[in-house]
Structure 1
């Protein structure tokens, strides 16, 4: 088939400690629900001459390209703080596709059957959570945030047992790689120094080639991963995204957002916002995302101790100093991000107070996070709340700050337009799309995806997609 696959599967050539060779479990009656044409073009793939039946066979894993070795990857993870040996319990890595720009992408089937890592799971996925991952990952991509993406979703034609019988589905996920903090935890737990060195070198070759000749590759890797994770989480905070399950197995070494389980977007500004049904104590709440990132990075640092320095005390000291610098890196990036959201050029000693005064007002008055910044960009959505005298006073202080550094309102507005989305995936709109898709109506989802594809542009007749619902009791679920 003239699709354009160009596989070069390097991870599958690593020792069996890293993976299990396994094929996807065939399904009886697959049918394509959605194919991501834009992503296919980015990957230099052409499915235009492929029949729907053949597409279904390809993206269900029933028909895989010749001469490739499909694998399930081994990894561990701290899940809500508790360490567990894990692995791909319902996913199979088809291979690494090389696009024409010589970039390498993992292509993985999610929901493709049992593996030796499945434990008590059935290895399957259901349609709703797979479409949720498709919608939210595409939204995160168009919001200019690093992320894995979804190439296709197929229904399997089979029912999956969860709380009740649900339609089965398989998602094809595309990622820079699926190497996680949990991958390092798994290899470190095996206490084989050669394997740990192999993983460090492989990761550097794939994601951080600039440090290949470094004198201390492990320490430099820790610093670079920390830098990327800081940037990623600052971007999440910029748009009000709550990942919902920031276990160490869900932190990609590449710095991409990965695993869209109980994720959601914050409406009313509240730092303690949690939507995940399994996060009973707010471990992964909106405001806890930065400290949890630091915690996860500390677990990553622990894995690298044996190769940071031969002397364990020295290695621990170097790793600790690196992790202790997280707060400085994060706070600087966060402050600059918030300056951008408010259109502030240059630095002013009162900027942090100005920012926090706004956030405190938003929390006290239950103002919508996204729409407040829209209001500041002269996009009026349900604007009665902004007539509050305390907000007006803050607004005047903000206007004075904007005028500093020979700045103009037009220049500030341009900066704000680049970072403040006009549209986000409102949780109730996502649920509407998923409910319709479960009834074989894809129009609602396709319209939502179309609107979400231009989050920074003014669009006509989208008011219904901008207004939040009062979803205080809204919950999201892992779907596993």
Structure 2
């Protein structure tokens, strides 16, 4: 093979690395560690094509590239610096302790996307960790991030999963793996906090200018672009968290270092989807006090945004009092925007196309009945979608509730409300089925797939789960068992950090 052919073979990425052109103290350059016997578990071919990558080349060289053994030409590997509030306590330096940003590409739609390896070895920010990832958390992140995308929720994506052929040591010895994550960017609220904690006003300004250019170019000419930036980030977060609640998603670790300024969901460690509805649901093993419970997420989003606002105050106005007043207005608007987005989505979920003053109380009454009746969150709304077109489906809907009396009373009010709608029943049902999924990443299904892979090197359940979750709004008869909530002995009560 000639040198020219060899170079072509090893250049699947057209990198254009803007973050690495920022000041050196924004990151630490870091070459990934080598993996002993890398094996490509999964390549997301549709995403690779969307990124403009050579799929056939990645099939050949993907194990080497996505394990970190082969650094593609044009990459500029680095670990990003950031700080963060973790469960309310501030840590002035965190950073990518087991993640290495290979670089950025411009996808076929003209969007700039980060490509990052998680679990590719130690970095200067590892804080005595090994920088590696275990197979289970890598598979969990792959499954959940792709499911979120299919559900229509802004989220980071999974490009590849690779086993390293070497063990990692946690509470027990586990097979190691590397996850390749794609993101609009990996800039977090904690990235701004890193510079604010050091009194680095120029660093904050450079970062804010970069974020505006990369994510919010329409506000460059605003009268106060930094206030406009705060408003834009706030609006995206309000929308994002409302959409989490619409599908019963619980992030599990909403620290400020896990909140992107792009508006994407990031980090799928101790996350989970609710089975039976309970507003106080917590899955994360490290959330001992329920700080990040399902119903607490909107308030935590607002709290995190306040921390971002604190870092931007000097840019918003040199007069601190004026800056604080302006930022507080944005924080107040976040609450209003969240409520609007959440209620709009809940109207869609129960089939309302018009607005009435009592709609909020109608929605809250349904949620109360679901909590009292221990109703499965996803099945409740799916069966209500069927009931919208077929009154004969009422029994199936009520069967979702262990105690159906409150639900039966609520149905009477719902039917009365629908009488004031002009939407034909079939159209209403079809619209509801577009927002009420049949399939979510059930926690027990994820655990089953992980157990089979880790204990028996069997990835068939992983592949099956990815297949069914790629079409969550279609009722796929061949996968009907995947719609069902867990049996009592299958329930997952805790999820864990691990990547």
Q: What interval of TM-score do these two structures reach, taking the shorter chain for normalisation?
A: over 0.9
1:273 aligns with 2:281: yes
* Greater mean deviation of Cα atoms: 97-106 or 396-405: 396-405
Matches of residues 307-386 of structure 1 in structure 2 within 5 Å? 307-378=315-386, 384-385=399-400
1:79 aligns with 2:61: no
Aligned residue in 2 for 1:463: 480
- Aligned-partner SS, 2:42: strand
| CA distance, structure 2, for counterparts of residue 275 and residue 67 of structure 1 | 41
| Correspondence for 2:71 among 53, 64, 76 | 64
CA RMSD of aligned residues (A): 1.5
1:193 aligns with 2:201: yes
| CA distance, structure 1, for counterparts of residue 421 and residue 484 of structure 2 | 35
Could you tell me how far 1:51 is from its partner in structure 2? 5.2
Aligned residue in 2 for 1:106: 114
Aligned residue in 2 for 1:261: 269
| CA distance, structure 2, for counterparts of residue 291 and residue 414 of structure 1 | 33
- Aligned-partner SS, 2:415: helix
Could you tell me how far 1:382 is from its partner in structure 2? 8.0
Could you tell me how far 1:250 is from its partner in structure 2? 0.3
Matches of residues 398-409 of structure 1 in structure 2 within 5 Å? 398-409=414-425
- Aligned-partner SS, 2:177: strand
- Number of equivalences: 479
Could you tell me how far 1:299 is from its partner in structure 2? 0.3
- Aligned-partner SS, 2:478: coil
Structure 1: gaps spanning 5 or more residues = none
1:291 aligns with 2:299: yes
Could you tell me how far 1:383 is from its partner in structure 2? 5.2
Matches of residues 175-214 of structure 1 in structure 2 within 5 Å? 175-214=183-222
> Contact 1:402–1:408 (CA<8 Å) still a contact in 2?
no
> Contact 1:358–1:394 (CA<8 Å) still a contact in 2?
yes
| Correspondence for 2:430 among 414, 417, 437 | 414
| CA distance, structure 2, for counterparts of residue 50 and residue 231 of structure 1 | 35
| CA distance, structure 1, for counterparts of residue 129 and residue 400 of structure 2 | 48
- Aligned-partner SS, 2:262: coil
Aligned residue in 1 for 2:409: 393
Give per-residue Cα distances to partners, 1:426-478, cap 9 Å, x unaligned. 11111111111112111111111111111111211323111112366611000
Aligned residue in 2 for 1:477: 496
Aligned residue in 1 for 2:465: 448
Residues 215 and 22 of structure 1: is their aligned pair in 2 closer, same or farther, counting only changes over 3 Å?
Answer: same
When normalised by structure 1's length, the TM-score is: 0.97
> Contact 1:148–1:256 (CA<8 Å) still a contact in 2?
yes
Give per-residue Cα distances to partners, 1:234-290, cap 9 Å, x unaligned. 110010011100000000100000000101100000000001100000001100110
Could you tell me how far 1:401 is from its partner in structure 2? 1.2
1:242 aligns with 2:250: yes
Could you tell me how far 1:410 is from its partner in structure 2? 2.0
Aligned residue in 1 for 2:177: 169
> Contact 1:402–1:409 (CA<8 Å) still a contact in 2?
no
Aligned residue in 2 for 1:117: 125
Runs of 4+ in 1 over 4 A off after TM superposition: 49-52, 379-383
Could you tell me how far 1:385 is from its partner in structure 2? 4.2
When normalised by structure 2's length, the TM-score is: 0.93
- Aligned-partner SS, 1:317: helix
Could you tell me how far 1:36 is from its partner in structure 2? 0.8
| CA distance, structure 2, for counterparts of residue 13 and residue 462 of structure 1 | 48
- Aligned-partner SS, 2:437: coil
Structure 2: gaps spanning 5 or more residues = 1-7, 388-392
| CA distance, structure 1, for counterparts of residue 40 and residue 300 of structure 2 | 37
| CA distance, structure 2, for counterparts of residue 127 and residue 184 of structure 1 | 31
| Correspondence for 1:10 among 14, 18, 29 | 18
- Aligned-partner SS, 1:325: helix
Residues 385 and 239 of structure 1: is their aligned pair in 2 closer, same or farther, counting only changes over 3 Å?
Answer: closer
| CA distance, structure 2, for counterparts of residue 124 and residue 287 of structure 1 | 33
| Correspondence for 1:229 among 237, 240, 243 | 237
| Correspondence for 1:41 among 49, 52, 57 | 49
- Aligned-partner SS, 1:287: helix
| CA distance, structure 2, for counterparts of residue 169 and residue 241 of structure 1 | 25
- Aligned-partner SS, 1:169: strand
| CA distance, structure 2, for counterparts of residue 148 and residue 374 of structure 1 | 26
Could you tell me how far 1:4 is from its partner in structure 2? 4.2
